[in-house]
Structure 1
Amino acid sequence: MAESADVIVVGAGLAGLVATAELVDAGKRVLVVEQENAGNVGGQAFWSFGGLFLVDSPEQRRLGIKDSYELAWQDWLGNAGFDREREDRWPRRWAQAYVEFAAGEMRGWLADQGWKSFPIVAWAERGGYGADGPGNSVPRFHVTWGTGPRIVEIIETRVRAGLDRGLVTFAFRHQVDELVVTGGAVTGVRGTVLEPSAAARGVASSRKPVGEFEFGAPAVIVTSGGIGHNRELIRRNWPAHAGRVPERMLAGVPAHVDGRMLEISERAGASVINRDRMWHYTEGITNYDPVWPDHGIRIAPGPSSLWLDATGTRLPPPLFPGFDTLGTMQYINRTGFDHTWLVLDQRIIEKEFALSGQEQNPDLTGRSIRLLLERVKKGAPGPVEAFKRKGFAPAARSQGGPADRRPAAPAHPEDVGRLGDRPVRAGGATGRHDGRRPVRGRGGRGIRWRRGARVSRAGGHVPGRVPVLRTGRGPGGGRAAARAGAGRRNCLASQYPVSSDDLREWRTDVHLDARRVSAYFGLRALR
């Protein structure tokens, strides 16, 4: 088999682009093999909010956020656990190298390529379990100015420069079916050439074969994404600690994110580890204008919404939106239902209700100051208003529960009787979550003073206070209830489970800076 390049990269998602860009800088010839068409370069990252984990950044310091490598590493250990001697050997080393990178050269490395951050640093996964428990002690979620598409553009520009120099070749619509092994080493790939496709980005494409291919190279790197849209693999590898497997799940990633290369790589000798370490978001609603099947959008609702399970019971502290998605998943699964409810009024919707993902934030994605300034005007942003009209169940007055359910949300009429008005009135009377003291510590204290939080909150309260006992502020004058389910990866208001990628242990003779490649895998990829 003749060599087609110095290195073959399987997958043209963001990790594949970063690997290719680094190889080009080293003067290597790279063949990128991708089963989708050229319109899908960037993969899942294109659809993302573009949030990056950075430590002690200028953006943090400008907001008065004190962060350090030591604190970030302590937080990471609290999340990851690293309690498996064999499987966690490389994840721990990768994680430590990444946190060092995030606290050091990563910010400058990105800025040198034209990256800019939105000035408000978000606080994802706050935890609330103490200093050494899971969660981020301080805000670290840096949203890219331009969101996911801008991150893809930055790295793709470097790859295109390699293309112009004759160092990069793309083989689109080439589906890898086998890794070729010679003398105990992977020396190439074989697979199926798929018929040409003009499908739009994210839309499921044809799998009709029109030929076969075989490429050789001294080294092969697989960057094929996770299992986010493969419900069967999710169920098969579901973590025992999470409880029952939800019947209904939304998908925050396109259908091509199916994990098929995991089994193919394992057959060639790859070590696939931590299969059950998944990451699911529980604040997901169905996209009323889907790009792919079961398309879900994740809600970023802020702390003021009243979060109820399907029985009308408030979720206990610290299970507030954005605090502990794994703990919330366990709680929801114990109820026997796949969905929860968010109860909120128009003031909360306008002030702190947001949607994750690039397509729901045209101002940030388009890097438009004009559109961004419109957020301060009266009313909610356009995408939020659209979801409110098409996917929320409004209540005309504070007397009574959610009514006038819209077809966009799967009907659960039994919920109406369960919800009623009791939880809202109880919260309004006590001003506290379940009548307990307001949450303090890392999560509650931060909401009081963080400048970024103060400009995007409906009131100066801590999580658990319930400012929704008001009339005349809902979509039709009262409250609204958004049904939320757990969805895969990035999902929202009809909330259903969301999954993340596992970490695989790979061995390669290609010398890359793994910290840079992993920088785009996201915080949870190295869990």
Structure 2
Amino acid sequence: MATKKYDVIIIGAGIAGLVAAFESLNLGKTVLIIERNTKEHLGGLAKLSFGGMALVGTPLQRRLGIKDSPAIALDDWYSFADFGTQDVLPKQWAEQYVNESAEQVYHWLLGLDLKFFPVVNWVERGQYKRGNSVPRYHVLWGTGYRLVERFEELLKNHPNQARLSYLFEHKVSDLIQENGKIVGCIAEQENTGQKDLSFFAEQVVVATGGITGCLDKVRENWYKPWGQAPKEMLNGSHPFADGLVHDAVSRHGGNVTHLDKMWNYAAGIPNPKPQFEAQGLSLIPCKSALWLDHTGRRIGPEPMVTGFDTNELCRRISQLDKPYTWQLLNWRIAAKELAVSGSEHNPMIRDRKLFSFLKEVLLGNHRLVRQLQKESDHFIVASDLRELVNQMNHLNGDHAIDYEVLKNEVTQFDDVIRRGKGLWNDDQLRRIQHARGWRSDRVRTCKPKPILDPSAGPLIAIKLRLITRKSLGGIQTDLQSRVLNTLGAPITGLYAIGEAAGFGGGGASGFKSLEGTFLSGCILTARAAAKSIGVGV
């Protein structure tokens, strides 16, 4: 019986894989997508994402009076990335990103009937080094859920849909190489355990995500200058993002780089409804909350405030005595500032309910606060500070937090606020004021008011851990998304896209991301691969 051969095999059905499939069908190619998960999880992490993208020089920025350009963005990128002298390809991908994100992502998605919410957020502003000089964070109306849903529709209704095949619940364990060319891959069926299934194609595209779904690999590749990885971490990725195909690429001569560069988050809580071990939810922590260590002391001397340097927050937390921290706040702050990253906990944006979304923004997202209070034991609500401390210690099963210590910390902060705006000699308050200076952040950041103010209660404490998310390193590729060997030459027949390629070049973001470079990085690298396949490069 003859073995069917495809023009393109795509390993992984995340957004990078779906975009590559769409563009390949546009070229008239026959395509096989092999996905390890079930059909219901088509789209991978993208479907669960908030849908934010860092885009440069868009009409939306110009309408909001934001003066941006590829030159400004590249300067910001280099500041955060801290590239080394050997990072030639990551630098090339960074330059390609800032030059092409408006046309190849923003306008392209608009042309596919996707829309962006009419505000641009300002994230990763930088702390010790400059981050985003201007707001660039564009949010898809409908979140990443709508992005995946739209590409499902595009593939299902494509004129060349008959040329597309899916194979779900199959784990690719190796590649097939003949005469120096990758000609296919080997997989096994996840449920039956049937192994050594061979699939052949002219071109193989790796779109499997990164390594941060495997906590053992995260610890193994932890950035050495930071010391040992925290003993406790949450998984904000998926167990199938385990680097299995990275290893296969290495065995066949591909160069895998910068796996110690990761984009993790500082504010994770255990998922109240986990689908796998150690699954977490990534909170967008409140700027107006006090960030405390395990004893209830404010982390310092420089206070921790989100929105400026996520990587630095992770570094500082990883070097504390205990692998967890606390945020202390009140209901007023939580209702205005707290969010959970992703589509699941943002149903008003995900389902494109504009009136309901605006109502939550203006009146406070009390729905989310009540949901977390009900579902999470790491989200503690109490009527007074002593009761709060008792519950915090009860959750830990110890007496690490002393009531008088915590009372002193929050009272000192509240006293500074009461002195008045002209006397706010506290760096956290300075950063809050800076954030409130931009219109879209002002509506999501509280005007400073004492935390212990009875009218702003009840009080809330949230126990947080580091949560994994994205690999910034990966399989090294050129600007056509072709996989390169250790000598820098393309491996014929093999491509890598999205997170598997470190979003281009094996590490396009360098040490730190400007945030929002992931979904758009998947799109750019996937489109580059398809273009290269189309011209036979």
SS, match of residue 288 in structure 1 = coil
Partner of 1:113: 112
Q: Does 1:183 align with 2:183?
A: no
SS, match of residue 454 in structure 2 = coil
Amino acid corresponding to residue 422 of structure 1 in structure 2: N
Give the TM-score, by structure 2 length: 0.83
Amino acid corresponding to residue 191 of structure 1 in structure 2: A
Equivalent-residue separation in structure 1 for 2:275 and 2:159 (angstroms): 30
Q: Does 1:387 align with 2:372?
A: yes
Q: Does 1:488 align with 2:432?
A: no
Amino acid corresponding to residue 324 of structure 2 in structure 1: H
Partner of 1:256: 240
Match of 1:292 among 252, 276, 279: 276
Aligned residues: 490
Amino acid corresponding to residue 503 of structure 1 in structure 2: G
- CA deviation map 1:477-515 (0-9, x unaligned): xx21111111112xxxxxxxxx53423212466799979
User: Does the 8 Å CA contact 1:94/1:515 hold for their aligned counterparts?
Assistant: no
Change (3 A) 1:376 1:41: closer
Match of 2:391 among 395, 401, 404: 404
User: Does the 8 Å CA contact 1:55/1:72 hold for their aligned counterparts?
Assistant: yes
SS, match of residue 117 in structure 2 = coil
Q: Does 1:451 align with 2:439?
A: yes
Equivalent-residue separation in structure 1 for 2:393 and 2:20 (angstroms): 45
User: Does the 8 Å CA contact 2:208/2:245 hold for their aligned counterparts?
Assistant: yes
Equivalent-residue separation in structure 2 for 1:324 and 1:101 (angstroms): 25
Equivalent-residue separation in structure 2 for 1:166 and 1:175 (angstroms): 24
Amino acid corresponding to residue 521 of structure 1 in structure 2: F
Q: Cα distance, 1:121 vs. partner?
A: 2.0
Amino acid corresponding to residue 144 of structure 2 in structure 1: G
Q: Cα distance, 1:416 vs. partner?
A: 4.4
Regions of 4+ moved over 6 Å: 432-435, 510-520, 523-526
Match of 1:168 among 164, 167, 192: 164
Q: Cα distance, 1:469 vs. partner?
A: 3.2
- CA deviation map 1:225-277 (0-9, x unaligned): 11122011111111012232111111112322222111122112211011111
User: Does the 8 Å CA contact 1:401/1:416 hold for their aligned counterparts?
Assistant: no
Q: Cα distance, 1:406 vs. partner?
A: 9.3
User: Mean alpha-carbon deviation: is it higher for 505-514 or for 90-99?
Assistant: 505-514
Alignment of 1:239-278 (within 5 A): 239-278=223-262
5+ residue gaps, structure 2:
477-482, 484-489, 505-515, 525-537
- CA deviation map 1:78-133 (0-9, x unaligned): 11111151xx222111121011112444311110011111223222222122xxx2
Change (3 A) 1:381 1:510: farther
Partner of 1:124: 123
User: Does the 8 Å CA contact 1:304/1:458 hold for their aligned counterparts?
Assistant: yes
Equivalent-residue separation in structure 1 for 2:405 and 2:392 (angstroms): 14
Equivalent-residue separation in structure 2 for 1:350 and 1:157 (angstroms): 35
Change (3 A) 1:283 1:84: farther
Alignment of 1:222-237 (within 5 A): 222-237=206-221
Match of 1:504 among 475, 487, 494: 475
Partner of 2:88: 89
Match of 2:331 among 346, 369, 378: 346
Equivalent-residue separation in structure 2 for 1:339 and 1:520 (angstroms): 27
Alignment of 1:208-227 (within 5 A): 208-210=192-194, 212-227=196-211
Equivalent-residue separation in structure 1 for 2:288 and 2:352 (angstroms): 28
Q: Cα distance, 1:385 vs. partner?
A: 1.7
Q: When you count helix as a share of all residues, which structure comes out higher?
A: 2
Equivalent-residue separation in structure 2 for 1:258 and 1:503 (angstroms): 12
Partner of 2:454: 471
Change (3 A) 1:416 1:3: farther
User: Does the 8 Å CA contact 1:342/1:482 hold for their aligned counterparts?
Assistant: yes
Alignment of 1:309-348 (within 5 A): 309-311=293-295, 312-317=297-302, 319-348=304-333
Amino acid corresponding to residue 450 of structure 1 in structure 2: W
Equivalent-residue separation in structure 2 for 1:276 and 1:382 (angstroms): 38
Give the TM-score, by structure 1 length: 0.85
User: Does the 8 Å CA contact 1:302/1:322 hold for their aligned counterparts?
Assistant: no
Amino acid corresponding to residue 400 of structure 2 in structure 1: E
Equivalent-residue separation in structure 2 for 1:110 and 1:473 (angstroms): 42
SS, match of residue 98 in structure 2 = helix
Equivalent-residue separation in structure 2 for 1:233 and 1:406 (angstroms): 32
Partner of 1:73: 74
User: Does the 8 Å CA contact 1:146/1:367 hold for their aligned counterparts?
Assistant: yes
Amino acid corresponding to residue 229 of structure 1 in structure 2: G
5+ residue gaps, structure 1:
196-207, 490-498
Change (3 A) 1:90 1:176: same
Match of 2:141 among 136, 139, 145: 145
Amino acid corresponding to residue 424 of structure 1 in structure 2: V
Change (3 A) 1:406 1:415: closer
Q: Percent identity?
A: 32
User: Does the 8 Å CA contact 1:33/1:170 hold for their aligned counterparts?
Assistant: yes
SS, match of residue 218 in structure 1 = strand
Equivalent-residue separation in structure 2 for 1:445 and 1:306 (angstroms): 16
- CA deviation map 1:164-217 (0-9, x unaligned): 53221112222212100111111111121233xxxxxxxxxxxx4135411111
Change (3 A) 1:521 1:380: closer
Amino acid corresponding to residue 118 of structure 1 in structure 2: F
Match of 1:422 among 408, 413, 434: 408
